[in-house]
Amino acid sequence: MPAHTIIRFADWTISPETTPPSPPIVHQFECATCNAEGAADEDFETARTWTFQHVGKNPSHQSYREIIHRFWRMHLVN
């Protein structure tokens, strides 16, 4: 087992990444019936359009989950 050293205790917090150039939030949908995934997109409506196309081709596939890619940053609390 490797040695582990604590130099000092610190309090951390986490928040959404907003420092430029922060990556955008990306939306994606997945079919809960067959696990097919639509394309990820920054625009929610564009990502959601895939669900309508998918259910149109597969009428029994009526459950979907949204996958959100959101970037976070850790900060030391002073």
pLDDT tens digits, one per residue of 31-72: 999 999 999 999 999 999 999 999 999 999 999 999 999 999
Percent of the chain with pLDDT over 70: 95
Instruction: Indicate the pTM of the whole model.
Output: 0.74
Q: Residue 31: which of 56, 5, 2, 4 has the closest Cα? A: 56
Query: Which sequence spans correspond to the domains of the chain?
Result: 24-77
Cα gap 77→74, rounded to integer Å:
10
Maximum mean pLDDT: which of 6-15, 18-27, 39-48: 39-48
